[in-house]
């Protein structure tokens, strides 16, 4: 039997060689939906026998701390680059765009040089950010070095974000100036949501270039043994303004006999704000826990709660909702674009109006009083289509690994 098993586990070799795959992203440390996707996808690509390297900034998402320049996660190699002087300017507007891809701009491009040395067969760049535009302008150069090179972009649905007047204007000018119709120079554009496709078409992307591959759930979420529920309501994710935890805390105030858990890495100023809100309203049924990094402990903590709530102001495709669904939790989400795409209201979970804490409180109260076994069963079943072991087949086809 062993030789047969080894045959099934053999490396994915195309044209007589292992494929070298370069993933490029803004962050490769911290709690970040994009980084979660990149890491999970990279692990699956390594399982197929590919050589995977990740390029990113040396900044941790959320904390903005500097992290080490090189790291290995299993067989995945991570190389992180220092941000340039431009980063100090852009950080005045947003901390989500790190100018790491051009060092000493415009005189030296270290990332491009490292990319040239690695000489990948496939480049996968994440987000519609300037580093992806930089790669777009370098495609022809790298295809001269490697004519078979494939360059793929995963935009991560950044189209529902209100950045303020000035940044919205600059973003629109950049997209419709620098990017419109040019995205077709990528071999494929991977949409992680259905709702972002009309936006991509508005940017001139041809329909045959777009492939829908949502974020996935590691198989551990389907295999780990369930533990007993001992708590009521859970939020797990980044403790940041976009998550609108004020709405959850005010709902908790209306339900003093129900316990609420908030878990995740916190942005310092926002953490002070929500702690102040809790203290001001004398709320004693909300407990805040630090980030859980271990996947098994994370699953166990989700299991201990009856209800999972995501009260965000906006979401593209929230990973935590998928994870909670996979564990058969009663999931309640604000009706963001991402929430509406994942949850079938009244069938696999529930939706409430963004910021409406009274509506949220009523839903929580109802879910704890009524029999929700059908909702829990439907949630778990619906989540199976998001297994990475299922999605990797789509990735193989899209990336030309089949």
What does the mean pLDDT of the chain come to? Answer: 89
> Which of 9-13, 100-104, 322-326, 336-340 has the lowest average pLDDT?
9-13
Which DSSP state fits 178? Answer: I
What does the block give as tokens for 202? Answer: 């508005």
pLDDT digits (tens, 9 = 90+) for 223-274: 999 999 999 999 999 999 999 999 999 999 999 999 999 999 898 899 999 9
Q: Same fold for the domain at 2-216+387-398 and the one at 220-384?
A: yes
**In sequence order, what are the beta bridge partners of 261?**
234, 287
pLDDT value for 231: 98
**In sequence order, what are the beta bridge partners of 345?**
349
pLDDT value for 145: 86
Would you state the CATH architecture of domain 2-216+387-398?
A: 3-Layer(aba) Sandwich (3.40)
**Three-class DSSP category at 171:** helix
> How many Cβ atoms from other residues are within 10 Å of residue 317's Cβ?
25
Q: How far apart are the first and last CA of the chain?
A: 25
Between strands 350-352 and 210-212, the pairing is unpaired
**What pTM did the predictor assign?**
0.88
Residues 6+ apart with CB under 8 A from 315: 321, 333, 334, 336, 337, 338, 339
364 versus 268: the higher-pLDDT residue is 364
Report the CATH number of the 220-384 domain.
Answer: 3.40.50.2000
Domains of the chain, residue spans: 2-216+387-398, 220-384
Query: Residues 205-217: what's their mean pLDDT?
Result: 96
């Amino acid at each position: 039997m062993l030789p047969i098993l080894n045959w099934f586990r053999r490396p994915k070799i195309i044209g007589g060689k292992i494929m070298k795959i370069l993933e490029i992203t803004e962050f490769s440390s911290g709690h970040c939906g994009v980084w979660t996707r990149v890491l999970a996808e990279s692990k699956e690509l390594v399982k197929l026998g590919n050589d995977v390297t990740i390029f990113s900034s040396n900044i941790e998402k959320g904390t903005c701390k500097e992290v080490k320049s090189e790291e290995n996660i299993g067989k995945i190699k991570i190389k992180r680059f220092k941000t340039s002087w431009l980063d100090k300017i852009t950080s005045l507007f947003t901390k989500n765009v790190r100018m790491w891809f051009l060092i000493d701009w415009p005189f030296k491009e270290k990332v491009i040089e490292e990319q040239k040395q690695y000489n990948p067969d496939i480049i996968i760049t994440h987000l519609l950010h300037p580093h992806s535009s930089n790669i777009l302008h370098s495609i022809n150069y790298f295809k001269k070095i490697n004519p078979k090179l494939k360059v793929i972009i995963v935009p991560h649905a950044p189209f529902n974000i209100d950045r303020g007047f000035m940044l919205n204007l600059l973003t629109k000018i950049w997209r419709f100036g620098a990017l419109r119709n040019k995205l077709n120079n990528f071999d494929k554009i991977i949409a992680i949501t259905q709702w972002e496709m009309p936006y991509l078409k508005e940017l001139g992307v041809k329909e045959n270039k777009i492939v829908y591959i949502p974020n996935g759930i590691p198989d551990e979420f389907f295999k780990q043994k369930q533990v007993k529920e001992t708590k009521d309501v859970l939020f797990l994710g980044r403790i940041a303004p976009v998550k609108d935890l004020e709405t959850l805390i005010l709902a908790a105030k209306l339900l003093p006999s129900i316990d609420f858990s908030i878990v995740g890495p916190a942005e310092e100023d926002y953490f002070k704000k929500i702690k102040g809100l809790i203290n001001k309203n004398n709320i004693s049924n909300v407990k805040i826990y630090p980030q859980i990094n271990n996947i098994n402990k994370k699953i166990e903590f989700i299991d201990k709660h009856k209800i999972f709530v995501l009260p965000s102001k906006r979401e593209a495709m929230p990973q935590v909702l998928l994870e909670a669904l996979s564990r058969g939790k009663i999931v309640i989400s604000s009706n963001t674009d991402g929430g509406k795409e994942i949850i079938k209201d009244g069938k696999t979970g529930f939706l409430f109006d963004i910021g409406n804490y009274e509506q949220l409180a009523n839903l929580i109260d109802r879910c704890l009083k009524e029999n929700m076994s059908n909702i829990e069963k439907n949630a778990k079943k619906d989540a199976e289509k998001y297994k990475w072991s299922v999605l990797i087949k789509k990735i193989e086809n899209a990336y030309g690994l089949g």
